[in-house]
Structure formats: structure tokens, C-alpha cells
Amino acid sequence: MGAPVERPLNLAIAVPVEVLPHAADLALPAYATAGAAGLDLVAAVPAPVTIAPGARAMVPTGLRIAVPEGFEAQVRPRSGFAWKQGLVVPNSPGTIDADYRGEVAVILMNLGADPVVIARGTRIAQLVFAPVARATWVPMTALPPTARGAGGFGHTGA
């Protein structure tokens, strides 16, 4: 047996949530496994929504949240949807700012070859909470040099 693995610090934040009337019968987002980073968001659609290949849809969740100051909520695609059906979140990750109080909605785009039907209660995306660092600009006439310099967009051969 090897040395015991240290468990990372378990960071938890309290997030106020308001369930809108059109989602009253749906469960709150939950973590699918003990090690999951994202909560599963579900569709709060009144009737199934079909997303044709190449099309986008704005899918409501029926939730309004108050992200704590100093954090953001990131809306990310579900890997199974992306792989099996070609559904992605085109603005991934979508950011929900701490001062936003509207309904959380997910933009889904179908990059697959077949139409995809989103039924009420379908897990459509993941919601991950992350700390936010605020930048302060430091104007300079020239930046400090590095070995890489201005090389980018594949200059390393990748």
C-alpha cells in the first residue's frame, strides 16, 4: 500500500435559489456523484423542444440564483450529450455573474447529424461554482520579456 492520499479542502458555499412556478415540480440541481464538480441543470420546458442539426435553443431551468459575491457560476456542457448527440453549450462556459438575478437559461446547439428532443426534466448542462479574481490594469510602455515572447497559435508545434 502507498501513502494515504490527502483529500483536498472541501469548499462549500451557500447559494440562495428561487424556484419559479414553471419548475415547481422539478428537483433542484444536484451532483450526480460524490466527486462531481458540477450540479446537473434540468430543462423546465412546458413541452418537448426539438433542436435541429445546426440550430440553437434557449432552454429555461426555472431557477433564479444569487451567486455569492466573489464567485461566478459556470454553465458547461454535459459530456454525454456532447459525445452521443452533439449537443454543446456554444458560449461555454457561460458565466452567471454574482449580480445577475434573472432566470438561469442554457443555450444549447446541436452539432450532431440528427434532431435532438429535450423533454421536461432532461439534464441539459452542468453548473460549476468558481472563485473570481478581479484584475487591476498596470499600464506599461513594454511588457517584461519571456522566452516564449509573442509566439502563439501553434508556434510550439501542437
Return the H-helix or E-strand segment holding 85: helix 79-85
Q: What is the pLDDT of residue 11?
A: 81
Q: CATH number of 17-131: 1.10.357.10, 3.40.50.10420, 1.10.3720.10, 2.70.40.10?
A: 2.70.40.10
Return per-residue pLDDT of the chain as tens, 158 residues: 566 667 666 789 999 999 999 999 999 999 999 999 999 999 999 999 999 999 999 999 999 999 999 999 999 999 988 899 999 999 999 999 999 999 999 999 999 999 999 999 999 999 999 999 999 999 999 999 998 888 777 766 65
**Virtual torsion, Cα 74, 78, 82, 84, nearest 10 deg:** 180
What is the structure's pLDDT at 117?
97
